Structure 1
Amino acid sequence: MPIVERDLHGWSLAGSAKPGESLTSFSLKSSSSATFQGFTFTLSFPLANAYRVFVTGPDRPAPPHDNVIYKGEQDAGCPFTIRSIDEQKCQAVLAFPNQSPTHLDGAGRERELHLEWSESLLLNVWETNRNGKVRLIGDLPGRSYAMTEHGMIRHWWIERNNLHVGLGERAAPLDLTSRSFTMTGTDGACYDAYEGDPLYKHTPFLISTPRPEPGDGPESLPSTYAIYHPTNSVATWDIGRWHDDPWGYHKTFVQDWGGLEEWVLVGKGVKEVVRTFGELVGMPKLVPRDWLGYLASGMGLGESDKPIAQELLSTWPDLCKKHDIPCSAMHLSSGYTVGEDGNRYTFHMNTRRYPDFKGMIKLFHKAGIKIVPNIKPYMLDSHEAYDKLHAANALFHDPWTKNPVKTRIWSSAVGVTGKGGWVDMTSPEGRQWWADGVQSLIDLGCDGMWNDNDEYHLHDDAFICRNDMPVNMRNAVKGETNIGLMGRMLNTEMMGKISHDTLIKNNPDRRPFIVTRSGNVGTFKYVASTWSGDNETSWKNLRGSQAIQLNAGLSLMQSYGSDIGGFGGPLPTPEMFTRWVQLGVTHSRFCIHSFKPNKVDPSGAGATNTPWMYPEVLPIIREAIKWRYEFLPYFNSLMWSSHLEAEPTNAPLMYGDFASDANLFSEESLNGFDAWIGAGRLLSAPALFEGLLSREVYFPKSSPKDTSLYFDLHAPYGSHAAGSRAIVSTPLEHMGLFAREGSVIPIGKSVNTVTQTQGPARTTHDGVDVVLESEGGVVALDDWRGVLIFPGEAGQYSGEWIEDDGISTKPSVSTIHVSYSATKDKVTVKAQWKEHGFKPLWGDKIHIMLPYRDERKVEGAEQVMRGERKLWFVSVS
């Protein structure tokens, strides 16, 4: 259906302004016709490197939301200067606020906003850099701001040569240019990782960054910008796919309901606009350390009736021990909620399948395995609480029939649905029902919550929600409101909040953990982790999962992964499963999860992907999972960087210091699968095609003069120069993995570990102590720390990482700074406590490890051996 587009036009200056005047906002009013009377356009600078636009009218209220947490704009904001103004010609030039030399936006680049309003509004931002004066972002003349039936539409010029990334969870490839996307969430089970849209999340945050020319240095690049619309309404983004003469190619944002709130963030690169986005909406939650290891799951385990699910699940710790597979958590699928009629009833306990649910959890806790149960925000009309919630007006209502909304919801077997509805979390009674249910699971010993099926895919914008909210909504509307304006996923956010608040209420000193399948931007104020939903087993979807991972990370979903081996479809082949595990252990979230209704796997665990399901590749799978645990101190520190600085654990190669490398913007690179695990430190080069035993790898450059080395972490342990290409070996036993010269990588033991001998890291909230190795268990103390360093033939290097107990809500933190220098004959290392609030079990001794085949001596350190590997003791001073 074509978009009905009514251009907004005929504006006049609201108030007075004169050259040289310093203002905090610039406003225009629509005055030319009765149609647009009462519309206002307001431009302000809440941040020194961001401006905000509001366009609202009598029937276009500003979008209600609480997605923006930044409070500074409630004060005076950042004043800007009117450089020139001509009310007769309806033109003004506004200067960006003065930039601080230390501000992340970067000093020395003069920017102006040119505003015209003689007919339609026209806003262009110009920047002066080494290449002269260039347009950074500009509106499409005559079509910049317009109305749709209930909402707004925006058109801009498109920089056809720019790279566009972000928008949350988007199908591959990484580059979003010349594509269109729907901003809403849906249950996209078994989606195509290259074609699927929409998927599960709602993230209207688009980044546009310039592509460098060969020989460009970082100082030559124009700035990067991002556009963010905090609305929860359904919307669409078209990024240059729309070609419409006489305007040509352009990019377009269509918002279904409400007036427009638009933020434009400016920075020196993708890294800096992502950081600003984090400051605006909230940095990613700090993930508990227990959820950084192998996360087990599987619907086949929890669905079993013969043997009953509890008997089957209770063998899991012993199976992990038997196969020597460390495991940190078990996702308990919704089979525990199945009633006698075979349907799922949220917060109902199937006592036939689980006669002693609490005892089963204690068994897992002794093995160091946390439990997170699946909970769903909908109910069949046969649910025992349905009538109560109906009577309390805690269900969505149809404004025409005045009855609760009933739709088809997944109820039992795959493809089987029943009649029911979603619980309205904007109602106090709906939230209380959710809190009571979460509380019941906490009382049984559950450690976190798995908010699932929470897309709220109601099919009519006119459906009514209560809109009785427990948070301060910006631009709040009063009373019962249609979900078109409020946004479906505001309910997803409230689910996350109530799960979060209930966990905190019970265990205020423990870091809460919630994983969600869906979410708007506000959801992640409360939810620590998410994943790419119900994917399907195929090589194509394995490959596509990497680009989805990277765009999600750039959109602040930085504890993210895919269901390893594929959720739906056939069982993966041994080779495919191995490659998926090898990729998955490099991601910020590593979970093997599936539902395979068409075949029973060889392990006897039902239709479930398990690490040991193919004995012929079990040694390779085991090695990959143990690698994840060995590198867990590194991943823990990366999650701290995410929490503090909005740095994604998994980043595209052109991120950060590498934005000037033109090779990283080629189609070959952008359509490829290589990525950083910690930008500028570890380079992953996965093998994602069947039978791929070797492949070419390009090694990124941070500048045209960069000569850094990349050290191969697998045999033959060679090195490669930045800017070079090489054919590397990728036998089934491993993918490509390289450390950049100068890196500092902390590692630990290759088993599940705890950071305390006593306390919350050792004792679960139900009072169960983890059984340690010394007591016959499989969990070790985190009492050894190695540090991988990568010196060249000569040079000086430094790096640091963060340690904490991994469990506390307000943890004490230690930061260890390592500096080292190298000559042809020796390496000198110095380690210092930058902060020393947390006292790690490894004390003050770290073990320095040089690259394989590097026989240089570490000066001033004591040499020891660990297996066949030479190490050196160094004290942290």
Structure 2
Amino acid sequence: MKISNKIISLKNIDNYLEITTNAAKYRIILLNDNIVRVRCTFDEEFQEEASYALVMTAWKDKMDELLKDERKQVEAISSSYEDLGNYILLTTKSLNINIYKEPFGVEITDKQGNILHSDLKEKSYVKDSLGRIYHYSCMDDEDYFYGFGEKAGYLNKKKRRMRMHNVDTIGYDSEHTDPLYKHIPFYIKFNNKNSIASGIFYNNSYDSTFDMGCERSGYWNKYSYFCADGGELDTFFIYGPKIKDVVRNYTDLTGKTAMSTKYSLGYMGSTMYYTELDKDSDKAILRFLDRCKEEGIPCDGFFMSSGYTTGEDGKRYVFNWNYDRFKNPEDFVSQVKEKGACVAPNIKPGMLISNPLYKEFDEAGAYIKDDEGEKSQTDRYWGGQASFVDFTNPKGRELWKKHLKESLVSLGITSIWNDNNEYEINNTEAICHFEGMKKEISGLRPIMPNLMALMAKETVAEVYQNIRPYIVNRAGFAGIQRYAQTWAGDNNTSWKSLKFNIPVMLGMGLSGVANQGCDIGGFFGPAPEPELFVRWVQNGIFQPRFSIHSCNTDNTVTEPWMYPSYTKYIKEAIKLRYKLVPYLYSLLFEASKEGSPIMRPLIYEFQDDKKLLEESFDFMLGSSILIANVLEKGAKTRKVYLPEGAVWFDWDTKQTYEGGQTIEVEVSLNSIPMFFRSGAIIPIAEGLANIHNDSIETLKLLIEPSEESSFVLYEDDGVTNNYKNGEYLKTLISVKRENSVKIAFEKEGGYDKQPKEINIDLICKDIAPVQVNLRDKKLAMFLDIKEWELSEEGWYFDIEQKTTKIKYKNINENHDLNVNFSVKDLISI
């Protein structure tokens, strides 16, 4: 066993500090004021820099060319240090980095002296006799831990031991199963005592373990640790002080969420059932789209399960079409588009040895090799023995893109569903090309699904240069958000899954993956009972990925109309989803720029409210809407804690509640408890039924003006890359209060297909307006709601909901609206 205990030498080299200890070497790099890299190796020399995960670096890297369109190189802060006797001091504008000489350890504080991170000295960096590497950190009783990617259970992971590994966990228990499909070695630590958040990312893709206080020894201070099966301890400390700052800084490092197509926010139909029919699966899918329209249920796409690839022997062969089920694939894709939908076909990176294309990939050396590096490695897969495409090999990437292009993308398909890509290869010493450097699969397993998604992105771009791809991935590593929307795999059909899938997704959002969801209605198990199905859809409409998908074990198929007497509840919920599309698309834009989650834990928005530290099931949709779904069978009431620091309004009734209290509301089967906060600005589309084909004629804005606030409404064509060339519209909507309420609209960009009418619901909980002016023009006031509805512009006060309804023809330039609340003295008149 090797333990770093004493500094032997140190020197500055090109803006990094190199330290040699008795057991290991270190490089300390101040990447910027908020991110500190501590790189440790127990080998004689550091390995060549070669990261597929990082998009911000301050050094040359083997992957610079491959990631040239994504990677940004910055200049590190000077690593000149001050020797203070027992320790040396490095500084940034935000942080002090104290490096202790003996016993060796790193301590990071803010400028006020708050300890943000402290190595467990005498045991900080360790390599054991089996080659595993450890990083031990001190823990405080007031520490809470969030993130860790896709993990089952409650939001706070304190006192948890979790394994980082990609597994196909069909029918998993969303409270207990570990690991799941994603491998994201990042967490956020929030200290309740000083209310400061920080994060740690381990840039290591070997299987690993986080122990967040399960282990305890009386000879040491309380600690947590990270243990990886190999590689280096490449640790990035990320400062907040807010949780949202940590997420933003982490996604600066590993990438922001891809700006996906707008239609990806629509309802995506799916089921394994249709593509397993003996014949005419194409007709079944087209009929599904027609049925949606007949039922008045909006739908914008269909995830097509792998049954379409089935050969004559019943096995699934990637890039193969079953012509009994799909007589003319190109014509089928065209018909789907005519119906206002996309088709997203399922593809898998494991090629069965009986696949007609197997030999071509094998002879090209495109598979992961055995541990001798000579023959293609085979392993068990769905359908039998298979080899796995090596996406770290240029030959594998190019051959994959060739067949993806020929079999799917050339047919007009620009939506790709990457599935079964966990790379469960049991021979951990199987050899990957690794850009010519050769490395065992145990060190690259979670990288493969990221590169698979990158190849889908590149393939679509090569065939349709100006079309945005829509890519969905099941597995992934840190940075998967740059390429794909994700989902939480093959969940079990149960009330528990409905409930605990929520913190699974919230943890993903805190780990940089803003665009994700889970299978609505449950994937594996018997058909959901009617009440469970309704509640699941009512929750699913708030997930960025909204898809009802199933592989039911009782020969049934989960469809929106499966229980006719309950279909009205399903339809109402999905229509609410479509009303929120302008809000969701603006949140997706925010995620692409800031890294912000779309579904947010309450603690993310209300960090000072200590009652939220353990809240796992209620969440914020963006910054303005609190969602408190009904998650219990037979519920007649729902208790909701409303965070302090805001006033809250019931979505339907506009009833007002002070924050910092728990309320109990009555619920029925059609109830979706929702509350918006003071200062909310929420864009809504009335009547939107199809994102592909419908334009938003009237944009509604729900505005609560008691606090000064702002919101960026983002619009573009939703499909092309024209937004990169200025064809977008960002409207900064801001609310200011003086003697009146001023709502300002500041516009940027060249996208001109704007809604024709603006319709504002302005919450006025204390007093009605006396006058409304648009650009200094007085708008007409109506006493009769019907007259207001027939007018082109003007305003009306709804006294029951205490809401001022304002409408006017949209203005394609900056403008403002002034609402005067002076009391009109009728008596003295």
> Does TM-score exceed 0.5, indicating one fold?
yes
Q: Which amino acid aligns with 2:486?
A: T
CA deviations on 1:471-529 (whole Å, 9 max, x unpaired) are xxxxxxx53321223x11222122111111000111121111110000111333322x0
Q: In 1, distance between residues paired with 2:198 and 2:539? A: 31
Structure 1 pair 633/76, CA: closer, same or farther in 2 (3 Å)? Answer: closer
- Which residue number in structure 1 is paired with residue 66 of structure 2? none
Contact between 2:149 and 2:185, CA under 8 Å: does it hold in 1?
yes
Contact between 1:818 and 1:829, CA under 8 Å: does it hold in 2?
no
Equivalent runs, 1:250-399 vs 2, <5 Å: 250-305=223-278, 308-399=280-371
Instruction: Establish whether residue 711 from structure 1 lines up as the match of residue 679 from structure 2.
Output: no
Q: Helix, strand or coil for the counterpart of 2:451?
A: helix
TM-score in terms of structure 2 length: 0.89
Q: Which amino acid aligns with 2:714?
A: I
- Which residue number in structure 2 is paired with residue 816 of structure 1? 731
Contact between 1:163 and 1:208, CA under 8 Å: does it hold in 2?
yes
Equivalent runs, 1:131-170 vs 2, <5 Å: 133-148=113-128, 149-170=130-151
- Which residue number in structure 1 is paired with residue 751 of structure 2? 838
Contact between 1:685 and 1:737, CA under 8 Å: does it hold in 2?
yes
Identify which range, 383-392 or 257-266, moves more after superposition: 383-392
Equivalent runs, 1:40-79 vs 2, <5 Å: 40-58=25-43, 61-62=46-47, 64-72=50-58, 76-79=75-78
Contact between 1:753 and 1:782, CA under 8 Å: does it hold in 2?
no
Q: Helix, strand or coil for the counterpart of 1:240?
A: coil
Q: Which amino acid aligns with 2:98?
A: H
Instruction: Establish whether residue 409 from structure 1 lines up as the match of residue 381 from structure 2.
Output: yes
- Which residue number in structure 2 is paired with residue 804 of structure 1? 716
- Which residue number in structure 1 is paired with residue 822 of structure 2? none
- Which residue number in structure 2 is paired with residue 94 of structure 1? 89
Q: Which amino acid aligns with 2:97?
A: L
Instruction: Establish whether residue 654 from structure 1 lines up as the match of residue 603 from structure 2.
Output: yes
Q: Which amino acid aligns with 1:409?
A: Y
Choose the corresponding residue for 1:567, options 501, 520, 523.
Answer: 523
Q: Compute the displacement of 1:81 (Å).
A: 5.2
Q: In 2, distance between residues paired with 1:787 and 1:401? A: 61
Q: In 2, distance between residues paired with 1:866 and 1:77? A: 62
Q: In 1, distance between residues paired with 2:665 and 2:762? A: 21
Choose the corresponding residue for 1:856, options 760, 763, 768.
Answer: 768
- Which residue number in structure 1 is paired with residue 70 of structure 2? none
Uncovered stretches (5+) of structure 1, i.e. residues with no partner: 18-22, 100-110, 213-220, 412-417, 469-477, 601-607, 703-707, 755-760, 762-778
Uncovered stretches (5+) of structure 2, i.e. residues with no partner: 60-72, 774-778, 783-787, 799-803, 816-829
Q: In 2, distance between residues paired with 1:258 and 1:168? A: 20
Q: In 2, distance between residues paired with 1:455 and 1:169? A: 13
- Which residue number in structure 2 is paired with residue 438 of structure 1? 404
Contact between 2:148 and 2:184, CA under 8 Å: does it hold in 1?
yes
Contact between 1:574 and 1:617, CA under 8 Å: does it hold in 2?
yes
Equivalent runs, 1:732-751 vs 2, <5 Å: 732-751=669-688
- The total of aligned residue pairs comes to 770
Instruction: Establish whether residue 200 from structure 1 lines up as the match of residue 149 from structure 2.
Output: no
Contact between 2:705 and 2:741, CA under 8 Å: does it hold in 1?
no
- Which residue number in structure 1 is paired with residue 697 of structure 2? 783
Q: Helix, strand or coil for the counterpart of 1:322?
A: helix
Structure 1 pair 228/60, CA: closer, same or farther in 2 (3 Å)? Answer: farther
Q: In 2, distance between residues paired with 1:725 and 1:270? A: 24
Q: Which amino acid aligns with 2:789?
A: M
- Which residue number in structure 2 is paired with residue 419 of structure 1? 385
Structure 1 pair 698/359, CA: closer, same or farther in 2 (3 Å)? Answer: same
Choose the corresponding residue for 1:599, options 555, 564, 567.
Answer: 555
Q: Which amino acid aligns with 2:688?
A: V
Instruction: Establish whether residue 694 from structure 1 lines up as the match of residue 637 from structure 2.
Output: yes
Q: Which amino acid aligns with 2:703?
A: I
Q: Helix, strand or coil for the counterpart of 1:352?
A: coil
Q: Percent identical across equivalent pairs?
A: 29
CA deviations on 1:615-663 (whole Å, 9 max, x unpaired) are 111111101000011110000001011111111111000114x111112
Q: Compute the displacement of 1:820 (Å).
A: 4.3
Structure 1 pair 596/97, CA: closer, same or farther in 2 (3 Å)? Answer: same
Equivalent runs, 1:674-689 vs 2, <5 Å: 674-679=618-623, 681-689=624-632
Choose the corresponding residue for 2:9, options 8, 13, 18.
Answer: 13
Q: Compute the displacement of 1:851 (Å).
A: 4.7
Contact between 1:93 and 1:112, CA under 8 Å: does it hold in 2?
no
Q: Which amino acid aligns with 2:171?
A: C
Instruction: Establish whether residue 117 from structure 1 lines up as the match of residue 101 from structure 2.
Output: yes
Q: Helix, strand or coil for the counterpart of 1:583?
A: helix
Q: In 2, distance between residues paired with 1:331 and 1:710? A: 38
CA deviations on 1:756-806 (whole Å, 9 max, x unpaired) are xxxxx6xxxxxxxxxxxxxxxxx53222211111244xx555433222211
Q: In 2, distance between residues paired with 1:498 and 1:407? A: 23
Q: Which amino acid aligns with 1:736?
A: P
Identify which range, 539-548 or 452-461, moves more after superposition: 452-461
- Which residue number in structure 2 is paired with residue 871 of structure 1? 805
Runs of 4 or more, structure 1, over 6 Å off, are 852-855, 866-870
Equivalent runs, 1:529-548 vs 2, <5 Å: 529-548=485-504
Q: Compute the displacement of 1:821 (Å).
A: 6.0
RMSD over aligned CA atoms reads 2.4
Q: In 2, distance between residues paired with 1:72 and 1:817? A: 34
Q: Helix, strand or coil for the counterpart of 2:558?
A: coil
- Which residue number in structure 1 is paired with residue 196 of structure 2? 223
- Which residue number in structure 1 is paired with residue 84 of structure 2? 85
TM-score in terms of structure 1 length: 0.84
Q: Which amino acid aligns with 2:122?
A: G
Q: In 2, distance between residues paired with 1:853 and 1:701? A: 19
Structure 1 pair 749/362, CA: closer, same or farther in 2 (3 Å)? Answer: farther
Contact between 2:736 and 2:743, CA under 8 Å: does it hold in 1?
no
Structure 1 pair 633/94, CA: closer, same or farther in 2 (3 Å)? Answer: same
Choose the corresponding residue for 1:239, options 212, 215, 226.
Answer: 212
Choose the corresponding residue for 2:569, options 620, 645, 653.
Answer: 620
- Which residue number in structure 2 is paired with residue 520 of structure 1? 477
Q: In 2, distance between residues paired with 1:75 and 1:371? A: 40
Q: Which amino acid aligns with 1:97?
A: T
Q: Helix, strand or coil for the counterpart of 2:525?
A: coil
Q: In 2, distance between residues paired with 1:16 and 1:820? A: 50
Q: In 2, distance between residues paired with 1:697 and 1:239? A: 29
Structure 1 pair 377/134, CA: closer, same or farther in 2 (3 Å)? Answer: same
Choose the corresponding residue for 1:588, options 518, 532, 544.
Answer: 544
Q: Compute the displacement of 1:688 (Å).
A: 0.3
CA deviations on 1:26-67 (whole Å, 9 max, x unpaired) are 22213x5xxx4xx42121201111111111243675474221
Q: Helix, strand or coil for the counterpart of 1:165?
A: strand
Q: In 2, distance between residues paired with 1:866 and 1:836? A: 32
Q: Helix, strand or coil for the counterpart of 1:551?
A: helix
Q: Helix, strand or coil for the counterpart of 1:711?
A: strand
Contact between 1:241 and 1:249, CA under 8 Å: does it hold in 2?
no
- Which residue number in structure 2 is paired with residue 490 of structure 1? 447
Q: In 1, distance between residues paired with 2:587 and 2:271? A: 28
Q: In 2, distance between residues paired with 1:56 and 1:425? A: 26
CA deviations on 1:111-151 (whole Å, 9 max, x unpaired) are 432222335x211123353xxx4322111121101113334
Contact between 1:151 and 1:259, CA under 8 Å: does it hold in 2?
no
Q: In 1, distance between residues paired with 2:79 and 2:665? A: 53
Q: In 2, distance between residues paired with 1:371 and 1:643? A: 24
- Which residue number in structure 1 is paired with residue 826 of structure 2? none
Q: Helix, strand or coil for the counterpart of 2:526?
A: coil
Q: In 2, distance between residues paired with 1:61 and 1:197? A: 32
Q: Compute the displacement of 1:467 (Å).
A: 2.1
